[in-house]
Structure 1
């Protein structure tokens, strides 16, 4: 009897091979999905950290400038204000302002923050910062009299008619409103009484004086009116300037809490929120800012139920101040900033 040699694979061998292949394929898919999830998490974390650093850096640079009025020392030289409808009544005491917004303002809000009431996220803090611009325009010649027009070499700050401007040297400072700003060649800035309580500055300034822009900014957290791919709201840090222009600075900032370093007569500094009735803003020498930053997309495997301590305010998925109950990752960024122009 002749035995024929078996050729090919038996059904059992094929089934075993298929099962082994499926097991291997499943492992490959799991590795791929795990790697993809790890990549998404790492990318979201990196972007979130970049958001936090950028926001803190921007706030730090502006807050440090609060009260700056050129060479004139804020602690010994009060700015003389002649501008009509001035942005401040007393520049020294109003260089920093802070509010708690819970649907209403605490303390009561002046015009600048009140203008953003419909834009601010409830249970977040708002801060205003006022200072002269970092760079100024040098006078080309001495003013012969106090009401003379001001001449500068070039309009490097982009001043236009009706702008509020500073002029200062190391002994005197004035805040006025420009009634006209010429273009081309030597720039002439007029400060007539039509836009000022008087056309007289404190003195006839010399060539050592400079003209600065008056920077008036309010920072707040609000909705972007955008959502992520899951339809979840995206929040951002915003800035409104004195002319009413609002800029979105960086997305992903969900909450901002601020404490003010109020220095007592004995030199001790206590950090309190803006709604503390004993807070004296004229004694504030430092600011502590904390930002709760979220990733744009949900990259966690589980819902974030963490309670975050944001400058003394607990923020969780329930309570007075909350964050969304979702799978986005969150981090708190904190810094304390010294006011360089307060002593």
Structure 2
């Protein structure tokens, strides 16, 4: 009987320990290379995503400040260069720009602006009691003191007053459009003195009764967002991750006539009432950063900003991405 005899040489041989170790070593090198490629790709993707978000946030931020600052000095249907009546609590256009704070060196500036806020408010009576009616969503806190603008487009009066608790508007002609009714009292004018004379104003449906709003724009840390630097509008956080906020004030050397040049002032040099009343442009710069540190190394880039003392903001040595966003805004409601 013939059979197959297996010899040691004909048997299947396994890997030796050395061969196995070499194979594992080569496989580890290959896996490390793939892992490094993945890490680099992920880091690049995070940086690109953060940069895209930063660019979009900057665009939105500029749109927001443009919308707000263009309202500066708005006083209803009255011409922007129409001065308020005698004894008014404020005189526009002068007081549309409040006292500004210029940051030392390249520190953050502070901007204060005022304007009348468009709202569905109608004046229905000035004597013996001053009475207003308001549309849905327009309300006042009883006992609080507010500042108002009254204009018939031919004259403007600005004054402060106390506002009563609301009652229902029972006038069938207006109750649907203006359901709330308020009485305002204790009218005061400049330096809390007598109010301007409102009897000279026509009280028709075209007469505008508006509330003055005042907003200060400043950068401070937001405790609700890990103390990140944030541009505040009054007490409300407006734009997060703003590392630097700068403002310059532009005055046309030729007034409203063509052919003039724009002279720029900062908060320190805009130091007279005459200058403040002539501001027609604002130059704004925002240096914004990504919320997280996504760069490979610390920043070394300086940024160009709207600052007369030094137009370069030194690099901030962390690994956040940063961009400077600059714009010039025409203040529409200025003479």
Q: CA deviation at 1:53?
A: 2.1
Residue in 2 aligned with 1:20? 26
Residue in 1 aligned with 2:211? 213
Residue in 2 aligned with 1:154? 135
Q: CA deviation at 1:304?
A: 0.6
Q: Provide the rounded CA distance (Å) in 2 between the counterparts of 1:226 and 1:167.
A: 39
Computed over aligned residues only, the root mean square deviation of the Cα atoms, in angstroms, reads 2.7
Residue in 2 aligned with 1:107? none
Q: Mapping of 1:36-185 within 5 angstroms?
A: 36-75=42-81, 77-80=82-85, 86=89, 89-97=90-98, 98-102=100-104, 123-139=107-123, 141=124, 143=125, 148-154=129-135, 156-160=137-141, 161-185=144-168
Q: Provide the rounded CA distance (Å) in 2 between the counterparts of 1:212 and 1:285.
A: 23
**Secondary structure of 1:296's aligned partner:** strand
Q: CA deviation at 1:78?
A: 1.7
Residue in 2 aligned with 1:256? 245
Q: Residues 147 and 208 of structure 1: is their aligned pair in 2 closer, same or farther, counting only changes over 3 Å?
A: farther
- Specify the structure having the higher radius of gyration (Cα): 2
What number of residue pairs does the alignment pair up? 302
TM value normalised by structure 2: 0.80
1:141-196 alpha-carbon deviations (Å, 9 max, x no partner): 4x4x5664233253643233412122222112222223233424224443433655
Q: Provide the rounded CA distance (Å) in 2 between the counterparts of 1:261 and 1:33.
A: 49
Q: Residues 214 and 147 of structure 1: is their aligned pair in 2 closer, same or farther, counting only changes over 3 Å?
A: farther
Question: Which residue, out of 3, 7, 13, partners 1:7?
Answer: 13
CA contact (8 A) 2:159 2:187 kept: no
Residue in 2 aligned with 1:203? 201
Question: Which residue, out of 274, 277, 282, partners 1:282?
Answer: 277
**Secondary structure of 2:318's aligned partner:** coil
Q: Residues 218 and 278 of structure 1: is their aligned pair in 2 closer, same or farther, counting only changes over 3 Å?
A: closer
Q: Provide the rounded CA distance (Å) in 1 between the counterparts of 2:109 and 2:201.
A: 40
Q: Provide the rounded CA distance (Å) in 2 between the counterparts of 1:288 and 1:178.
A: 35
Q: Residues 302 and 227 of structure 1: is their aligned pair in 2 closer, same or farther, counting only changes over 3 Å?
A: farther
Q: CA deviation at 1:4?
A: 3.6
TM value normalised by structure 1: 0.78
Give unpaired runs (5+ residues) of structure 1. Answer: 104-121, 241-245, 318-323
Q: CA deviation at 1:200?
A: 4.2
Give unpaired runs (5+ residues) of structure 2. Answer: 1-5, 170-179
CA contact (8 A) 1:181 1:188 kept: no
1:248-288 alpha-carbon deviations (Å, 9 max, x no partner): 11210000111111111363212232222677121111111
CA contact (8 A) 2:152 2:202 kept: no
Matched, 1:337 2:329: yes
Matched, 1:300 2:281: no
**Secondary structure of 1:22's aligned partner:** helix
1:58-98 alpha-carbon deviations (Å, 9 max, x no partner): 211111001111111121x2223767xx4xx3231121243
